[in-house]
Amino acid sequence: MYQPPPYSEATGFTNLWQNIKEILEYLVSSQLHEKIFVIKILFIVISVLFIILIIYFLVKTDFLKWWFLKFLKDFLFPKIVRKKWIASKWKNAKKNLEKGKIESQWKVSVIKGLNIFEEILKEMGYPGKNLMERVTKLNKEDISNFDELLKIVQTCQDFVRDPDYKLSKEEAQDILENFEKTLIDLEVL
């Protein structure tokens, strides 16, 4: 006569189900909740503390303002549109230089180019109080004309500070060409 083995699949699944059922009952039991009540309160207090710290630092720093303005700018002016807008401003500065017949017009064109260049560096997140500090933060390996750029920025600062500084049209063209090379290296133009 056939006798089933003492352990059969049916009893194995039943025992497994019983074990799972006991574990689930323990997890929802009041005994466990009483034991971990203090831990729950501790984690709630820590979470509230971290939320307060996050809110405090968001309010004290300009991060929210910066993040919102960056999001808004990226939403309203996608990079392609922004690139075209920068290119048109740049062409306008170069065109003003070509049309200029006197030194003051050349200086105005260079200052326009300088302002465009500084605005782009600010938008790209280069830190610094002035243009020279931002330029020194550029990666020398990424900019093909880094040494020339430093000299040009210094020249621009000189003629902005000194109204008697003599600037030739060739110097002005050289300045704008070097800014343009840098903007191309930065993949802005």
What's the pTM value of the predicted model, to 2 decimals? 0.58
Contact 175/152 with Cβ under 8 angstroms? yes
CA distance 169 to 67: 41
Question: What share of the chain in percent tops pLDDT 70?
Answer: 90
| DSSP secondary structure string for all residues of 92-135 | HHHHHHHH--SHHHHHHHHHHHHHHHHHHHHHTT---SSHHHHH
Q: Using alpha carbons, list the distances in angstroms from residue 99 to 10, 92, 173.
A: 95, 10, 12
Q: How far apart are the first and last CA of the chain?
A: 91
Q: What is the mean pLDDT of residues 61-75?
A: 78
Full residue range of the structural domain in which residue 147 is found: 75-185
Task: Let me know whether 39 and 123 are in one domain.
Answer: no
What pLDDT, on the 0 to 100 scale, is given for residue 167?
86
Q: Is 65 among the domain residues?
A: no
Q: How confident is the model at residue 25 (pLDDT cuts 50, 70, 90)?
A: confident
Task: Let me know whether 24 and 80 are in one domain.
Answer: no
Question: What share of the chain in percent tops pLDDT 90?
Answer: 15
Task: Let me know whether 86 and 172 are in one domain.
Answer: yes
Task: Let me know whether 159 and 92 are in one domain.
Answer: yes
